[in-house]
Structures are given as structure tokens and as C-alpha cells.
Amino acid sequence: MPGSVALASTVLGTLLALATPTLTPIHRAGYCAFYGECGHNPEVNISLVPSKVPCLSNTPARTATGALLTLLRTVCPELVRENETTQVCCSLAQLSALKLSVALSGTVLSRCPACARNFANLYCNNICSPDQSLFANVTRIVNHTMPRGKPRLAVVEYQCFYRQDFADASFDSCRGVRLPATGGYAIDTMCGRYGARLCTTQRWLDFQGDKNNGLAPLQIDFQLVSNNTEPGDAIVPLGGHAWRCDQALSGQEQPCSCQDCAESCQPVTAPPGPPPPFRLGNADGTLVLCGLLFGLLTLIFIGTLLCRCRRSTEDITPQPAPSRAACCSARLGNASHRVLARAFRRWGTLVAGHPVVVLAVSAVLAGGLSAGLVTLRLTTDPVELWSAPGSRARQEKAFYDQHFGPFLRTNQVIVTAPGRPSSGYESVVLGAKNFSGVLSEEVLRALLELQEQLAATTAWASVAGREVTLSDVCYAPLNPTEPGVGDCCVNSVTQYFQNNGTRLAMTATQTNGKKTGTVDWRDHLIYCANSPLSFKDITALELSCMAEYGGPVFPYIAFGGYPGSEYTEAEALIITYSLNNFPHDDPRHEWVLSWERRFLEVVGDFQRTHGPNLSVAFMAEHSLEDEINRTTGEDIPVFTISYLVVFAYIALALGEYTTWRRILVESKVTLALGGIAVVLGAVFASMGLLALLGLPSSLIILEVVPFLVLAVGADNIFIFVQEYQQSQREPGETREQHIGRVLAQVAPSMLLCSVSEVICFLLGALSSMPAVRTFALTAAVAIAFDFLLQMSGFVALLALDARRQEAARFDLCCCCGMGKGGPAGPGARLLRPLLRRYYTPLLLHRLARPAVVLLFLFLACAGLYLTLQVPVGLDQELAMPKDSYMLQYFAALNRYLAVGVPTYFVTTGGYNFSSPAGTNGICSSAGCDANSLTHTIQYATRFPNMSYLAIPATSWVDDFLDWLNPTGRCCRIHKSGNLSGEFCPSTSSDPSCFGGQCLNATRRPTVQEFERFLPWFLHDHPTLQCAKGGLGAYDTAVSMDANGTILASRFMAYQRPLRTSQEYTAALRAARALAKEITTTLRQVPGTHPDFQVFPYTVTYVYYEQYLTVVAEGIITLALCLVPTFGVSFLLLGMDLRSSTATLLTITMILVDTVGAMALWNIPYNAVALINLVAAVGISVEFVSHLTCAFAHSTKPSRVERAADATINMGSKVVAGVAMTNLPGIVVLAFAKAQLIQIFFFRLNLIITLVGLAHGLLFLPVLLSYTGPSPRMPAEDTAGDKAEDTEGHTGASTEQGAGLVLSNPCFEDKDKDKATVPGQG
């Protein structure tokens, strides 16, 4: 330690020896080093304040009297000696200049009284201390001639010695002071190129003493001396007391607030993070529970089988069951079936007898309703699609737009230079820096050229009939009334040069100590990136860092992909145009859309021109919506091909052919096209009806509803036509009666499915999401119309086709024919014999049935686990086609952006800002509440991973209080003249403003003062004399009525960069929790209305709010859809609890497995997925209910035989009508350009179809073979079809007897001999 002290003394002694010793020969208490003013510093070319320097005067201090003493009490009260003579080393002119300097710093630092006082004390001692010569040593002077010709020596540089601990204490009191307008630190503006992050005491003082900073009138060389070191030569470093920031200057004042002083903060505990993953030991807890559930279900199933096997073994030769009366539900089921069969038989016979009339009436009704499509409104706005009008986000958006106008429109360009090497740069002033490849003069000039082109470009607005320029639509914060192009808010790196190519090319010779070199654009850029609020850099270039429009360009907005704060190593440069957003009914809305289209064209040309060297990603505000609409339009041919493939399949598969020569007769192309026309007529009629009722539609409805109704309608078509083809006409039965009898057999099942689906979708229409609600309502009406048209128009078409075929006339050309009737006997069949001979015996084998049950139980449990792993949300990238330029932009945004979108905390009416308690509940400076609004938000930014906030909120209340501070010159009033009582701007030198401060002391304004001065503040242009003016930063942040009552206000913070929809959703949830906490606190302030609230708002919330509730809403919606499936089945099947339960269980398992498969195929869950899942319920009903209905009405003696009967007869129709109708069309969708279609229409619908088919044809028959209801005899109306029924089932029964397990007592149905016979009991 002694060696260190000796070394320091040697160094300081050397420094003093190098100085000119004769300039300050006397270092003694009571002596000055300089005094008075000796004109302007000839070495300072550009200064933001008068650069007057003192005269060399190593003489005794002067006595302060009169005006000097009075002013000294105000500016430097610590130097006043109340009970003795006050000595000073400054003149009245020097003290007046010092007052101006202190006022400038006080505007920024006054929110922390200790800092402001310490900073003022430093300069008070430097300029006016009576012991000035003790710590000041003049090192350089120049000759100066006074006005009367008297020569004097002007001081242009001196050394100033401070004690290290004194300087450190002063610096520490200021290092945390905030700038409410930016959310940053005041020290950013006071430490030059180092900024707040790298600033130290020495660097802080060095910047204050740098004559090139635009504020210092001369060069000051600050020397910090440790406590144990003496400089020698009678120099005594300035020391003494410095106020800590957590200390109050007096009993009437407050210490600095927590936001400005960490020492004032109470201990803050980190908010609880997200709950850890559920685990049991080291294993995934959910996986373990699902495994245990599967094990439990397996044990129950196996135990049940063993019990049945044991009972069957004990009673291997059962006695015939005694006759007993049929239960009430069985009788009701038979009765309801007979009623429905009789009604449909009569209806079918009637329609078949008058087909032309029925077709005409159906066509007129469908066509008339379809005419409503001329009034159809398509909704393309994502807000209108996915956010309910009454949702919280929509209400908050409406409130925000009403009081502050719509959110600004953003147009952005992100430029990178892949492959361009980085380069080192040795700055004379700023040291060595590494510049990335994109930070080259060539790239900057290219960006400057792009911005100049955009500034000069015009766009044609056709409706307005005029050319639109950038100045017509841009956001101009400092000149909102009549902006020019230079007033437009454009943030880019080239704005550090005010978008001026001449300034970018400037160079200058710079001397820094003994080192001389050239400074250029790189030196200026380094400086501005670290001190963006500077009006003048410290290089010989002497350029401002402020943008052309007058505001600062913060580096986290203009640079991207930089490590830490090394902005010169940024990988990307970002240009951001902020445009005004106008309501859709405002003519200027067309202006801004026109200019944005021109923006995309210009930037697109720039991208093509510079493509070999630069990577250019860009977007306009309307790009997202435009790209979604574009890809939807481009994929219309894909959907068209998809539907054509389905139509072709139906047309070919519907026929049943006997011989090659009768193909044209037995073809059903005309009937198939008629069936398709019925389906499309139902879709168009439903959409037309809803359009007439004023319900808007959307593109997703146009894409999904026809697909859904086609699946349902095609299934009914195949069931009806194939049943007619397989049914033989009874003796004496007419063609019309035959059609009526077949309709009686199949229509109850079709009614069951249709009613279930209609009620399902009607309940789904209760969803709060507009797109889901509109889809469900359209689907319900379309399926209802489809059933009605099939029961009328299609029955009539079948009657006409049957008449044609019986007359042996050709399909598609009924004028020609073979001239004779067709042969008897069925046509060639493929699917039904395959099911009867191979599939059903294998499926219902005694070993296969338990294996199938266990397999599907496993799939259900696995699906349940995977369901919990499905991500919730929809990343913006998925909404784009693969060839969209937006994908490149999103990739660049996620990779390079250093800060997220602004988030506003909005206050509603009912809060009294003007009362002292109300002010303290908002602000964050000295005297404000510890749990104030701005303090609470600032606390949250300490934990960005949980609050998702990165930069604290700007606060107009804090800047308003600083603006009112009487030590500055911001708020002044004309005291006389014509303008007496009016506002006096800080730039005015009018004598009537002298001494006209709005407040006479540093205090809270009264209610009357608050209301009087606030409008002045909001419209005061910020200047160097008063940087706290509110115009630009806050003029739109406060909404007031004509009486000055604050109706709403906003406080802007910034989110951290958000990458995924899950992060956006979590950020919304965190912001709302924070706003709720603030609301609770502010409601406790006296005078606050009980309905007052604070809510967060940003442009993305209205899109992502749905993901807060989409899971719960999806569960409720799907549950509501399942209820009618069970209820309708229960009622129409005669209160058959077993069949209804089997239907419900199978559809539920289909949904669970579908959602589980979504996790495996990377399909996120969101509103689009929910629409498809709601549609999946309808499609699942087709897979399940027809088969269940066929099983319930089968008359086979055992469950296994009835399951086989239903699978063979109805399963073939379901496969042909649902699965084979859907699959070809779905496969075509894989070729769509839009990722949204590929993921949610190809992948998800393929999963739905395959999973539904597997459950309908594998699991359900096995389930019914175990748990199905007792058999019942056929209704009397259908007895005439027994011959076909016997023929069709004999083979199946024989084969089952050979290959199945009917003779195995372990799997024998106990209800085999208990068939319900009509008339028993």
C-alpha cells in the first residue's frame, strides 16, 4: 500500500510538472484561480450554450453582496455563510451563466433532489468556491482583448482535483436517475460514448469537462485523488459531504424515489414463476397417471371377461329363458321406429310418385334462398374473425381508439449482409471497435438511397383521386398539423446523420492528447449509438445525434442482432416508418393503404437490385392480411380440384355394374351430380339465408362447410342408393312403393345423424369466437337443409333414375338406350363381400376382440397424454404461404429484434390526477408513493422473464412535475404586456418572462395549477433550454374533455422480444395481472371512482386474447356438441342407453385420439383447429351413429352376430360414403401453398378421417359385441325385405360359425336367448 501511494504521488507530481506552474502559482484557501468572463472560447466552434470562459486571476476571493449574494443563495446555497462574510470567486455574470447551466441539468436531474444538489455543488465549487485555487490548476490560456481594448488572459483549460470518495458519492447519487420520456437513464446523456452501462465516475466527469460536448465552455481535466494521496504543491483536492440518493436534503423534502435510487427501494421478492412440470419422482407425472389409467382399465376389462367366462363355464348348457314382458324402453323403441318407418315410407312413396313437382319446388326454394348470397359480406379482418365484439380485448381496443386514436401503423425493413466480412476500426477519440459487415459506408448509402426514394415517392389513391406522399400519412410527433417529409418519424441508422449524405461523407482531423488522426462517420455512429440523446458529439465533426424529425433514435430500435451493447457489431440494420392509422370510414385510410402498397413496390425493387449483396426483409402494416387473402385466392384452384376429385369418385362409385355392355345404363353419374347439387344447394341456401339475416361469412366457412356437408351428404347418398340397389322389389310392389320402403329402412338412421349434428352445431354456435360461432351456425343450417333436400329432391332424383334404368336408357343421355329392360340379379360388388368374407370374421375372432379393445384403450390413454402436450396458439408464420416474403421478415424479426412492441398501461376516467395524493399515486420521482403506477411497472421490468416487460413506462406525470420545477425555465408566465398571464416558451427572451416561473418553489401543484399548466406542458415543444416539453412525447397521451377533466391517459412501456404465440399469450396474461394490481392500489387513493381501472393495451392483444380461453372454450364447445349426440341417439333409439353410451364413448375417443395425433404431427391448437374439431364431431357421428343404429335394429340372435351384421351392411356404406369421399379430396389439399391449409385442412382432416374410420370400423363393432343392447324384432313395415335380409346374412352367419367364437362359452352372449319378441308379456 505505501508503494501504491508513492506511485500515485509521483504520477500526480509529474502531471503538475508538465503543467505551466506560473498560471496558478498560489494554491491557498481564500484565493481564486480565475475570475470574471473573458469572452468566448476561440477553440469551440459549435456550442449549444454560450461558451464564455473565465479570466486568469490567481487573486483573493471577492465578497458577495447585493444581487450576487441573492443569486448565490438560489444557485449555490452551500457557499453562503449566513453569520459571516461570504467570499466567492465568480462574478454576477459567471453566476448567471452557472444558473443557466444548473437549470439545464436540473430539468433532467431534479426528480432526484440529492443528485441535482450534488451535481450543482460540483460546478458551484468549480466556479464560485472561495478556495478555488486549492483544487483548480490552470494549464492553458489564450490572449483576449476586452471591449475597451484592455488585454486579458482567458482560461481555456484547467485541472480540477477531487477526492475519489467525494466524486464517487456524487456520481452514485445520479447513476440511477431515470428519464421518464424514454424509460432510460439520465446518465445516458451525461457520459458521452459510454452510455449508462459503461459509465464510471471518471468517464462521467471527463464528459462534463470535454469542450466538444456542446455544453462545456472550456476543457477541464478532472483528477481523482484517493484519500491517502496528496497531490503536492499545496493542492488540496475538493472533498466534503455528498448527499446519498436515499437521503432527504431537509425535513421538508423527500429522498430520491426507488426508481431513481436503488438504495431507496424496499426489498423486492421475485414474483412466482410458472409452476414446475408435474413429476412423480423423476418421471413425467402425467405420463405415469395415463399409464396407471390404462393399467386400471385393462384390469377392469380382463376381470370382466374372466367373470363372464367363468359364469358361462358353470352354465354350459343354459335352459331356455322364461318368457317375460319386454321392458318399457324396448316397447318405446319399437313403437318409435315403427312410427318413423311408416312416415318415411309414405313420404318416399309420395315423392317418388311426383318427382318433377318435388324437384321443381326444391329447386325454387333452394335457389330463392341462395339468392341471398348477393348480400353476403366476407369478413377478412382477423380481429373481426377471432375476437368477440364483447370481449375484453375488443372493449379495451375500442376505448383506446376512442381516446388516443388507432395504434400507429408500422412499415419496416430489416437489412443484413450475409457473407460480408467484419472490419476493425481504431478511433482517435473512442478507441478500437469492430464493425460488422452490414455497417459499411456502402450499405449505409444504399439505405440512404432507399429512404430518399421513399421520401420522394407518391402513390395514387383512386377513390380520393389524388397523389399521396409520405408527409400525408406519416406520424410527425413534433409537427402534427402541417408535416413535411423531414418531420416524419423514421427510425434508422442513417438518421444519426439526419438522412444527409453530405454529413455521412464528412471527415475531420482530430487531436486527442498526443494522438492525431481523422474522424469520420464511424466515430459519429459509435458516439450516437451510446448517447442517442446528444445534440452534438465530442468529435471534430460536431454533428448532432438527433434524427431529422427532431427526436432521438434509440439503438435498440435501429440495430439488431448485436452482442450486449456492442452496437457496431450488429448483424442487422432496421428502418422503421411509423404511419398514422385512420378509421376505415376515414378517406385517409385509403391514402395510407395506397402509400403502403407503393412502399412494398419500392422496397421490393430495392431487394431485387441489392439481392446479390444484401438480404432485405420487409413488411407493411397490411402485409399480413394481404398475404392471407392472396394465398386463399391462389389456393382456390386446389380446393376446386379437391372437390372435383370428390365429385368424380361419387359419380363413379355410386353405380353398380353387371356387364360391360350395360355400363352406360347402370352408371349413376347423373344421380351423383344431382346428389352433389343437393349438397351444394344446401350450402348455398344456408349461406344465403344467413346473409339475408345479416350474418357475415368468412373464407374459412367457404372452405370447411362444403367439405363437412359433402361428407355428411355423400354418406346419406351412398346409404340410400346402395340400400336401394341391394333391396329386391317385393311381389306386387310398385317402383314408388319400393323406394318408400327403402327410405323407411335408412331414413331413421339419417335422421338420427342429421338431428345430432344440427343440434351439435347449434350448441357450438354458443361460442364467443365470431368465426367459430358463424361456422357452427352455417354448418347447422346447411346440414338441416341437406337432410330436407335429400328427403325431397334426392328421393325424386332417385325415382327418375330408377325409371330411366328400368327403361334401359343411358345415363347422361336418357334419349338413347338399349331398348329393353335389364337382367335380374345384383351387380358386381367389392367392399361388402370383402367385409363379409375376410374383415368381419377376423375382427370379431375370439382372440382379436380383446386385442382390439386393449389397443384402443391404449390409444385413448396415449391420446389423453398427448392432448396435454399440444401447443396452444398460432404463430404468424403458419398463416403465410411458403413463398411469402413475410416468412423472411418473421425470421429476421425473431432473430434480430432487440426489443418488443410498446405496451401501454391505460387509465380510465374516475381518477383525480390533479390532487397531490393522485399525483403521488402515479409518479416515480421524489415524494411519490412506493407502490405508484410507474414504480410498480418499474419493479416488473426487473423480472422480464415473468413480466415480459423490458423497459419501464414513460410517465407524463413525472415529466410534467419536472417541467414545473422553478429552477428551470420550462414553465414561465408573461408577467406584463399584451401577453400577460400567457405561457412563455423556454426559448423566449422576452423581458416580461423574467422571474415568471409558474411555481415559486419545488412542490406539487395545486388542483387549479395542475389543470391550468397541463395543457401548456402537453403542447410545449422540447428544446435544449427545456427538454421536458411534452409535444411529441405526451401530447396524445392524455385525453381531456372541454373542461380539462382527464378522461383517459396512457403510460408506455416496452415488452421484451416475443417469438411465439405462447410468449405473446403469457405476456398478455402477465400484463393484465400487473394492471389488476395497479388498479387495486389506485382505487385506494382518496377520490378515485370505484369503477376506475388500469388495463394494458398493445396492438397484438386483440389477436392473442383468444388463447387465454380457447382451451376452456374448446372443451365446453365440444362437450356441448357431444350432449345432443347422446341425447338424440337415446331418444330416437327408444331410450337405448347402451347404444347411446357406445356412440358417445366412441366419438369422445375419436376426439381424444385426434387431438393427441395433433401433437405428433405438430398441429397447434387454436380457433382454426377448434372449428375442425367441431366439424370432426359431425363427421364422427357419420362414422358411428349409422353403425350403432344398424346394430340396434338388427334381428340377429347374439351381439357378435349383430355386430357382424351391422359392420357388413352399414360399414361398407360408411366406408364408401364418408371415408372414401373425404380421403381423395383431403390428399389434394397437401399441394396447397398456404401452410394454414396444409396443417389445419390436410393434416388435421386426414387425422379426423382416419381416426374416425378406425374407431367406426374397428373399435365400435367390438364394443357393441360386448356391451350392445338386446336384439329386437324388425318393425312390421320392413318385413317385406326379409328375403334380401336372409340372403345377405346367411353367409355371414355361416362364416361366423366357422371362423368366429360363437360356440366358445367363454365369449358367448348371455342375451342370446333373450331377444325381445313382440307380443310377449
Residues in CB range of 498: below 8 A, 6 or more apart: 544, 546, 547, 548
- What is the β-pairing status of strands 219-225 and 151-163? parallel
Residues in CB range of 184: below 8 A, 6 or more apart: 178, 196, 554, 951
Amino acid at 676: I
pLDDT tens per residue across span 817-837: 665 555 445 555 667 888 888
pLDDT tens per residue across span 1220-1265: 888 887 888 888 888 888 898 889 989 999 999 999 999 999 999 9
Whether the pLDDT of residue 1286 is over 50: the answer is no
Distance CA 944, CA 949 (A): 5
pLDDT at position 658 is 66
Region 602-631 average pLDDT = 90
pLDDT classification of 1193: cutoffs 50, 70, 90: confident
pLDDT at position 312 is 62
Whether the pLDDT of residue 1305 is over 60: the answer is no
pLDDT at position 641 is 83
pLDDT at position 195 is 82
Residues in CB range of 465: below 8 A, 6 or more apart: none
pLDDT tens per residue across span 410-461: 999 999 999 899 999 998 888 889 999 999 999 999 999 999 999 999 999 9
Whether the pLDDT of residue 559 is over 60: the answer is yes
Region 944-956 average pLDDT = 92
146 or 850, higher pLDDT: 850
Region 315-323 average pLDDT = 46
pLDDT at position 826 is 55
Classify 845 in phi/psi space as left (phi over 0), alpha (psi -120 to 50) or beta: beta
pLDDT classification of 13: cutoffs 50, 70, 90: very low
pLDDT at position 449 is 95
Whether the pLDDT of residue 11 is over 80: the answer is no
pLDDT tens per residue across span 844-882: 998 999 999 999 999 999 999 999 999 999 888 888 888
Distance CA 1036, CA 477 (A): 9
pLDDT at position 1307 is 39
pLDDT at position 16 is 42
DSSP-derived secondary structure for 707-767: HHHHHHHHHHHHHHHHHHHHPPPPTT--HHHHHHHHHHHHHHHHHHHHHHHHHHHHHHTT-
Whether the pLDDT of residue 524 is over 70: the answer is yes
Among candidate residues 326, 253, 227, 296, the one with its CA nearest the CA of residue 77: 253
pLDDT at position 1238 is 87
Whether the pLDDT of residue 3 is over 60: the answer is no
Amino acid at 25: P
Region 1061-1066 average pLDDT = 93
pLDDT at position 6 is 42
- Indicate the average pLDDT of the chain: 85
Residue 548 C-alpha cell reads as: 431529422
Region 316-343 average pLDDT = 63
Region 907-924 average pLDDT = 94
pLDDT at position 814 is 66
Q: Which residue has the cell 432521438?
A: 552
How much of the chain exceeds pLDDT 70, in percent?
91
pLDDT at position 428 is 86
**What is each CA distance from 269 to 247, 257, 993, 1189, 1276, in whole angstroms?**
24, 18, 49, 63, 78
pLDDT at position 577 is 96
399 or 268, higher pLDDT: 399
Q: What are the two backbone dihedrals, phi and then psi, of residue 424, each rounded to the nearest 5 degrees? A: -90, 155
Q: Which of 461-465, 636-640, 804-808, 1284-1288 has the highest mean pLDDT?
A: 461-465
Whether the pLDDT of residue 136 is over 90: the answer is yes
For the ranges 449-458, 765-774, 979-988, 1260-1269, the lowest mean pLDDT is seen at 765-774
Q: How many CA atoms lie within 13 A of 1281 on its CB side?
A: 26
pLDDT tens per residue across span 55-110: 999 999 999 999 999 999 989 999 998 878 999 999 999 999 898 888 888 888 88
Region 709-733 average pLDDT = 83
Distance CA 603, CA 575 (A): 11
Amino acid at 207: F
pLDDT at position 772 is 82
pLDDT classification of 333: cutoffs 50, 70, 90: low
3-state secondary structure 449-486: HHHHHHHHCEEEECCCCEEEEHHHHECCCCCCCCCCHH
Whether the pLDDT of residue 1284 is over 60: the answer is no
Region 104-127 average pLDDT = 90
pLDDT at position 271 is 79
Tell me the helix, strand and coil percentages in the chain, rounded to 5: 55, 10, 35
